[in-house]
Structures are given as structure tokens and as C-alpha cells.
Amino acid sequence: MYHPRFKGNHYDIGLKFGSILKKQNIDLDKIIRLDDFQKDFGKKSQSILSNFFPEVCDEIRGMTNGLNYPYENFASWLLCMGCCYDPNGCTAFCFIQNNRIFYGRNNDLPPFLKKVSKSILYKLKNGYSFIGNTSSMINMEEGLNERGLAVAMTFLVPTMIVPGINSLFLVRYLLEKCATTKEAMNALQGWPTPSACNIILADKMGDMVVAECTPEKLFIRKPAAGENFIVAANHFPSDEMKSHNASDWNIFLSDIRYKTAYNALKKIGHENGIEYAQDILGGKYGFMCQYDRQLNFDTIWSSVIDISNHMIYRAEGNPLKARFKEDIRSKLLDR
């Protein structure tokens, strides 16, 4: 996993990132393959992205200039992620223990993506600083910003796909623009969602939700009465959104992973919230990351965040084997 640090405006950051990749002889022509649907989807979605999030378009342009690669192809490729590609896994949760709020997430993907995954520190001139993790570049799958807002996405099989801004760019947007869960929920209203996804949000005040999103409907799921936790996997568990599940709830054992996390958090039996989250992600309380090798699918990194104390821990690999280590870069985030 790479750990780059970027500082400045969006275009300059993109240019620096692209120049680094160019020196490493990255050939995007060997990576980017778009069919006719993806090309059309990407082209229509680019104009939407430029209206909602023009700063990130500047970063994309900087990167493509650094790589000497066509902007349109690269932007379309990024915008197709999370909605026009093969299904992925991932389990995320948040919980409160001893008046501290914790976040945990397994990122489950094909193993080849482990080597190209990144944990990036952004110190932006015109946005909140954050640390974001991604198996791609520029768009994010999870992160924590300087104000103590944690944001993550999980993939779902959509019932429909329309032009819009995918969940990975949404995570990036919320990390840059929002300080609290309430602000993030307000930002979600009217967001041009292209397919189906879960967005999990938690802040330093202990406010946590899962936004269940489709192009047709947005439902905000909060902890049930008497519960101080919330879980998201790769389906919509709420009655309000069940009709929007295109899968059988079991994308890479999504329902089983959801129940493992839910049942463990229902009866917390550990005083150390960080260790408890790590144990859940590592499969100590049931199936979570123990995928059959024949699936060619694995947990390629795991994250645990002590949101209350602005501390990040990450296992770069399957947590059954990889050790969680503190990311000391979190101390560089402005508070």
C-alpha cells in the first residue's frame, strides 16, 4: 500500500501525482478498458461532476496532464467505478463504547488490487484535510477528516444505472466539505446518485447513520432504539429499501458478514474498543474475512478509527494475518 502526502490546490496535487505515476511508467492504456455503455455513461457523468465538484475535476486534469493521458478517458473510468464494474464486498460499522466512538471497515476486493492501493494524506488549500484510502486514485472508499468525520461506502448491485457521481467521489466530497454527520446528510439531499450504495457516516459527537442510496430514493438509517451502533455491508437491510436490492443479499456473503458484525456489537464484551473492532474485522466472532482462496477475492486492508481521539489503525492485508498499525499521519491533520 502506498502512503503519499499531498499539499496545495487540487490541480497542483493532481499534476504532482500524475508526474509520479509517469516516472513509474504507469501505462493507463493497459489498465483502462471501457465498453460502449461505460463510455456513454462516463461522458454524461463528467458534466454532472463538473457542476457538483469542480475542484476534483481540476485534480483529474492535473493528473492527466502529468500522465500525458486524455482527460475524458480517465474521468470516465473513475466515474464508472462502484456502479459499472464487477461487484465488490466490504463491511463497515460504527459503535460507541465508554463515551468514545469507533469505526471499523474491511475492504474486500480482488487480491491484485492490494499492491496498487493507497492511503493518501491530503492537506488542501480549499477543503478539509483528510486521510483517505482507495484501491483507485483521486476518488476514495473511506477516510477521516480533520474535523473528526469518518465516511465510507459499500457497493450494492443496482436495479438501475443512470448518469451521476459515484459513491467513491461522494466519499471524497463529504470528507472535503463536511464537518459533521448532519452536514453530510444535508449534502446528500439532491446528490446525483447513479446506482446503489451505502454511505456510512460518523462524527465526534457520536452521530452515526447509514445512507442507503439509489437514483430513485435516499433513506437515512439510524441505530435502532436501544442500540449504539450501526452496520453496513452489500445490501439494504431496511424494510424501506428492500425492493431496491438487485442481489439475493449475499454478495460475497454480505448478509452473513452483516449479521456477524451486528451480533458482535449487540453484546460488546471487551473494554478496549479498538481491539474489539479489530477482532470483529479479523473474524473472531464469525465470518468476516475468511474467504475461500478459489474465489480470487480477499480482504486487502482493514481500518479501525478511534474517532473521538483522531487515531487511525490499519492492517494492510487480510486481518487474519496482517497486524494493525497506527497511522501516525493522523497527527498531521489540523484539528
- What is the tens place of the pLDDT at every residue in 261-282? 999 999 887 789 999 999 999 9
- Amino acid at residue number 288: M
Note the pLDDT of residue 335. 52
> What average pLDDT does this structure show over 224-229?
95
Q: In the structure, what pLDDT confidence band is assigned to residue 329 with cuts at 50, 70 and 90?
A: very high
pLDDT confidence tier of residue 334, bands split at 50, 70 and 90? low
What band does 61 get if pLDDT is binned at 50, 70 and 90?
Answer: very high
Quick check: 112 pLDDT over 60? yes
In angstroms, the CA 315 to CA 303 distance is 7
CB 157 within 8 A of CB 173: no
Single out the residue of 122, 225, 227, 224 nearest to residue 175, CA to CA. 122
Spell out where 203-322 has E strands: 208-213, 218-221, 229-232, 298-306, 311-315
Cell triple for 135: 484501491
| CB-CB neighbours of 84 under 10 Å | 21
CA-to-CA separations, 174 to 32, 144, 258, 312, 332, in angstroms, rounded:
26, 10, 24, 18, 20
What percent of the chain has pLDDT above 90?
87
Q: What was the pLDDT predicted at 193?
A: 97
**Do residues 324 and 137 touch, judged by C-beta distance below 8 A?**
no
pLDDT mean across residues, the chain = 94
